[in-house]
A and B are shown apart, each in its own frame.
Chain A
């Protein structure tokens, strides 16, 4: 009976892992397709699509734009989320519960609606579409996350050490910068990292709010709409590889046990 359950367990887990990996495996396999269409039969490994991707200026600049928007918007979200979390945790602020609820509200709203709202607003104000507009949208979606993570990490422990620092004569900005921030660095890192993840792959807001200079997901969408070929597979595989590298970085930075 026991071994039966064990077998069922292994079978089920394998099935689910298989399901999860199926599209990615197909993606990577057919990125090496020699002929035009990324469907079976597989016609011998060829690097022509990787070459096409790397020499496609629009794709490479879209990649750079994606990174740019992701880094800046994540930094902004983490920064103001951190300050807000600290402010609400340490001080008495009137209507605190309502304001905190307001900041976390965007979590329950679809990206499409957030993007649409910004589009309507910017249109009405005569502001042009741009990477900055998309970046603003990305901060809107990531700020609640950063705030929630950092607020939940602000505890008595840090408050005590901050008090000690103040007693020793540190000014407020010094307390923040030299005491609180370093103590919370895992949460800061997690906020930044999660924000980067959501921003990097975000489609709808970027689609609605950019014009020529656009992010990678939008450029891939354009690519799909103007000529089907395994170039899409190639860029997908490349993104996958870059992401694995990121994850490894994250792992090493966060989970490596310090030797002291």
Chain B
């Protein structure tokens, strides 16, 4: 155990002095709001006392829990597709591109995300519009006869998400790949394994932490995101964040919105525990 500074009596107060701003801030502006939300979720917009009605409403109204189902489906698809697209890309960046160009390649990949998030989502709407770039190209190439509906669909929402999370996963997988000691590969080669076997049995498992961290971040960020589904989905279906914002925006129904938020948080917590468990098992 590292020796921590003890020294003079003044140290007694000092540790608390330096640590308390962060702790108090978190308690006041993260924990307290959460408790407030939990309390409010047990009240009703119309008044009256303690009630589970908001939660009951969620489980009994199909349009409501459908939103959670939609969120899980969309987030699931986004995570899987992003991993599949990002891994080869991260591999190429880490292995195929010469060392001195790697940082530049990474920066180039991250650069487009330096536009405003709202504007980027809106740009996807224009790209996928009936008269937009994608449809125009497909028609001109003769792949389709008439423009197809791409914007204002779940496909558009997924595309918007995947666009961002491919970048995120590329970063986490890239970092993981760079960390791998070359001795693993040498050992595998010495034992007679070809490149494919080396990859499948050595490299891929060793990059699982990078994938898992990226996947978890993707899950948390995507499931709580309001903008992308709102701009790109065309209200053709509702995801949880949209349902929550509907309650605040249209009716000022904080109790119901709070209950929905807590339910969303519960789902994310379950995912977090699952991930943490999995990572622990992997490490052991």
Contacts and interface: CB of A to CB of B under 8 A. Distances in A.
Contacts of A69: none
A166 B226 contact: no
A243 interface: yes
A234 B15 CA distance: 50
Interface string B68-86: 0000000000000000010
A103 B25 CA distance: 9
A109 interface: yes
B123 A27 contact: yes
A24 interface: yes
Interface string B231-272: 100000000010011001000001001100100110011001
Contacts of B116: 201, 216-217, 220, 235-236, 239
B119 interface: yes
Contacts of B225: 110, 112
A23 B30 contact: no
B40 interface: yes
Contacts, number: 241
A252 interface: no
Given A83-B22, A88-B19, A147-B22, A121 B120 contact: no
Contact of B5 (A99, A162, A251): A162
Contacts of B37: 113, 116-117, 120-121
A110 B124 contact: no
B136 A40 contact: yes
A84 B23 contact: yes
Given A23-B163, A113-B261, A117-B34, A86 B89 contact: no
B141 interface: no
Contacts of B166: 16, 19-20
B123 A139 contact: no
A91 B15 contact: yes
Contact of B118 (A117, A172, A217): A217
A181 interface: no
Interface stretch (B46-54, B125-133, B201-209): B125-133
Judged by DSSP, the binding face of A is helix
Among B26, B93, B258, max chain A CB count under 10 A is at: B26
Contact of A110 (B92, B227, B264): B264
A113 B265 contact: yes
Given A26-B123, A91-B4, A156-B2, A140 B115 contact: no
B194 interface: no
Q: What is the interface residue range for chain A against chain B?
A: 35 or more
Contact of A143 (B2, B22, B118): B22
Contacts of B4: 90-92
A173 to B, nearest CB: 9
A164 to B, nearest CB: 12
Contact of B18 (A13, A86, A109, A137): A86
Interface string A1-31: 0000000010011001101111110110010
Given A83-B22, A239-B119, A140 B167 contact: no
A247 B30 contact: no
A185 interface: no
The 8 A-B pairs at the shortest CB distance, nearest first, are namely A110-B224, A117-B33, A243-B114, A236-B119, A84-B22, A91-B15, A23-B123, A87-B19
22 contacts: A9-B92, A12-B88, A23-B112, A24-B123, A39-B126, A87-B14, A91-B4, A91-B14, A99-B23, A108-B220, A109-B268, A112-B261, A117-B33, A120-B36, A121-B32, A124-B40, A201-B116, A216-B116, A221-B227, A235-B119, A236-B123, A239-B119
Given A39-B132, A217-B118, 8 more contacts: A22-B133, A108-B269, A110-B220, A116-B258, A204-B226, A217-B116, A224-B118, A243-B114
Interface of A: 9, 12-13, 16-17, 19-24, 26-27, 30, 38-40, 79-81, 83-84, 86-88, 90-93, 99, 102-103, 105-106, 108-114, 116-121, 123-124, 136-137, 139-140, 143, 147, 156, 159, 162-163, 166, 172, 176, 201, 203-204, 208, 216-217, 220-221, 224, 232-233, 235-237, 239-240, 243-244, 246-247, 251, 255
